[in-house]
């Protein structure tokens, strides 16, 4: 079948492309305009096959299970609208951090039959959400199962932007070079427009007992949901607090893999 006919079939069977993910719609636009390389054409063939077979589903946004993203910027959990993310930030590591937390909130609310409003309003601990404390306690229990009989070490890195704290978690006890070489730091500088050379406030924590090791990325996801709660309950041991002077490197967006 000619390529253009395939594009038209895909559009017809997906409500003029409205039922496609933003990535797949972009792929189709590149194909229609003749900008696809061999990998892109192969991706269109795969998309065509799934659409015609009726098996097409939107890919999980940023790889976070159950979470999808539409053309208007709305985030869905299992087809239920739960948030809105603006582009291009919606494709950043910072967005993935927030999206993973949102997924945890949705899964918790679903488990107690309360997924009937925006999750962050119900589960945010600092905003005194209706289920904020219960959600954090649930995250703590999940975290305890993950770490087993080991204590974990991690650091909270934050920057002030117009009076608002922006930041991320890193495994272990980190220094300036660890921060500056991390993908999370470069991502934050590129998408959050933090002031160049802004100092980073770094707090290093130990959680749990037993032999200590650096926290895993999965454990950091849970800690991102409940660090404030653990701190308020005196369950964290603050190892150090320091301010690191940083030199900002602006990141650039990756090029389109399918475009020639």
Q: Could you report the per-residue pLDDT of 137-157, keeping only the tens digit for each?
A: 999 999 999 999 999 999 999
Q: Is the pLDDT of residue 119 over 60?
A: yes
Taking residues 96-106, what's their average pLDDT?
98
What mean pLDDT value characterizes the chain? 91
Query: What is the rounded distance in angstroms from the CA atom of residue 174 to the CA atom of residue 161?
Result: 22
Q: What is the pLDDT of residue 116?
A: 84
Q: Is the pLDDT of residue 251 over 80?
A: no
Q: Which pTM value belongs to this model?
A: 0.85
Q: What is the pLDDT of residue 252?
A: 46
Tell me the CB-side half-sphere exposure of residue 193, using CA atoms within 13 A. Answer: 4
| pLDDT greater at residue 195 or residue 64 | 64
Q: Could you report the per-residue pLDDT of 162-189, keeping only the tens digit for each?
A: 777 889 999 999 999 999 999 999 898 8
Q: What is the pLDDT of residue 198?
A: 83
Taking residues 12-41, what's their average pLDDT?
91
Query: What is the rounded distance in angstroms from the CA atom of residue 188 to the CA atom of residue 85?
Result: 16
Q: Is the pLDDT of residue 253 over 60?
A: no
What one-character DSSP code corresponds to residue 46? H
Beta strand pairing call for 200-207 and 236-244: antiparallel
Q: What is the pLDDT of residue 80?
A: 94
Strand boundaries in the chain, DSSP class E: 67-69, 74-77, 80-84, 151-161, 164-171, 200-207, 212-214, 236-244
Taking residues 78-92, what's their average pLDDT?
94
Lowest average pLDDT, out of 208-217, 232-241, 242-251, goes to 242-251
Query: What is the rounded distance in angstroms from the CA atom of residue 204 to the CA atom of residue 73?
Result: 35
Alpha helices in 33-172 (DSSP H): 38-53, 93-111, 119-123, 132-147
Query: What is the rounded distance in angstroms from the CA atom of residue 258 to the CA atom of residue 38?
Result: 8
Q: Which residues of 78-117 are buried (b: 16+ CB within 10 A; e: fewer)?
A: eeeebbebeeeebbbbbbbbbbbbbbbbbbbbeeeeebee
Q: What is the pLDDT of residue 138?
A: 98
Cβ-proximal residues to 22 (8 Å cutoff; 6+ apart), any chain: 69, 70, 71
Q: Is the pLDDT of residue 254 over 80?
A: no
Cβ-proximal residues to 105 (8 Å cutoff; 6+ apart), any chain: 119, 120, 122, 123, 135, 225
Taking residues 102-117, what's their average pLDDT?
95
Query: What is the rounded distance in angstroms from the CA atom of residue 168 to the CA atom of residue 21?
Result: 28
Lowest average pLDDT, out of 108-117, 206-215, 227-236, 250-259, goes to 250-259
Q: What is the pLDDT of residue 249?
A: 52
Residue 124, both tokens: 């945010």
């Amino acid at each position: 079948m000619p390529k253009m006919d395939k594009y038209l079939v895909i559009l017809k069977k997906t409500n003029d492309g409205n039922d496609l993910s933003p990535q797949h719609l972009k792929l189709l636009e590149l194909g229609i305009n003749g900008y696809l390389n061999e990998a892109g054409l192969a991706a269109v063939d795969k998309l065509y096959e799934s659409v015609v077979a009726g098996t097409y589903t939107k890919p999980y946004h940023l790889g976070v299970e159950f979470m999808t993203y539409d053309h208007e910027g709305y985030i869905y959990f299992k087809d239920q609208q739960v948030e809105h993310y603006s582009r291009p930030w919606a494709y950043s590591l910072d967005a993935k951090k927030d999206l993973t937390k949102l997924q945890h909130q949705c899964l918790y609310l679903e488990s107690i039959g309360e997924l009937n409003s925006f999750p962050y309003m119900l589960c945010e601990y600092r905003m005194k959400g209706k289920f904020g404390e219960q959600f954090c306690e649930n995250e703590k229990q999940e975290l305890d199962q993950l770490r087993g009989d080991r204590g974990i070490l991690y650091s909270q890195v934050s920057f002030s932007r117009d009076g608002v704290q922006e930041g991320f978690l890193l495994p272990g006890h980190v220094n300036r070079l660890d921060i500056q070489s991390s993908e999370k730091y470069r991502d934050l500088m590129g998408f959050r427009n933090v002031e160049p050379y802004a100092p980073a406030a770094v707090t290093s924590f130990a959680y749990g007992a037993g032999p200590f090791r650096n926290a895993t990325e999965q454990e950091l996801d849970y800690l991102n949901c409940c660090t404030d709660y653990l701190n308020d309950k005196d369950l964290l041991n603050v190892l150090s607090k320091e301010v690191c002077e940083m030199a900002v490197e602006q990141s650039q967006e990756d090029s389109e893999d399918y475009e020639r």
